[in-house]
């Protein structure tokens, strides 16, 4: 069975500092990896994805993530945090199962950027 782990319930970072939100995964075969952000009372918004190719993926709002196959990780990063980045972040893994994409989400990490 595939799974996603987000080991930190909450990450606190000062505005202007770099941020990292961690994600590790377990899947058979080649993974598709995603990061989503959720603001209060909103649905999930897509940030970025890794399908194949360059291990460093750049996405929306200045976020990026690095796919590390040996460590089965896909950590989300941003060089300089903004207060407006405060939200809930979800990592997801998808793999092909019986002709369809099976998607599994992590439990989420709350990012708090402190002014």
Partner 1 sequence: EAGVAQSPRYKIIEKRQSVAFWCNPISGHATLYWYQQILGQGPKLLIQFQNNGVVDDSQLPKDRFSAERLKGVDSTLKIQPAKLEDSAVYLCASSLGGQGHFGAGTRLSVL
Which parts of this chain interact with partner 1 (CB under 8 A)? 32, 34, 36, 41-46, 49, 51, 90, 92, 94, 98-108
End-to-end CA distance of the chain: 41
Rg, the chain, Cα only: 14
Name the minimum Å distance from CB 47 to partner 1.
Answer: 11
Q: Which is nearer to partner 1, 15 or 88 (CB)?
A: 88
Q: Which is nearer to partner 1, 72 or 104 (CB)?
A: 104
* 80 in Cβ contact with 20 (< 8 Å): no
Name the minimum Å distance from CB 68 to partner 1.
Answer: 20
Q: Which is nearer to partner 1, 17 or 30 (CB)?
A: 30
Name the minimum Å distance from CB 22 to partner 1.
Answer: 15
Q: Which is nearer to partner 1, 75 or 105 (CB)?
A: 105
| Torsions phi, psi for 3 (to 5 deg) | -155, 160
Name the minimum Å distance from CB 17 to partner 1.
Answer: 26
Task: Please provide the DSSP assignment of 31-47 as one string.
Answer: PEEEEEEE-TT--EEEE
Q: How many CB atoms lie within 10 A of CB 36?
A: 20
């Amino acid at each position: 069975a595939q799974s996603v782990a987000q080991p930190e319930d909450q990450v606190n970072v000062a505005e202007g500092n770099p941020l990292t939100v961690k994600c590790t995964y377990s899947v058979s075969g080649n993974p598709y990896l995603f990061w989503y952000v959720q603001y209060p009372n909103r649905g999930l918004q897509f940030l970025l994805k890794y399908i194949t190719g360059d291990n460093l993926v750049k996405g929306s709002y200045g976020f990026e993530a690095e796919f590390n196959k040996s460590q089965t990780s896909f950590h989300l990063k941003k060089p300089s945090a903004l207060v407006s980045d405060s939200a809930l972040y979800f990592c997801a893994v998808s793999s092909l199962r019986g002709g369809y994409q099976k998607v599994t989400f992590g439990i989420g990490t709350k990012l708090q950027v402190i002014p």
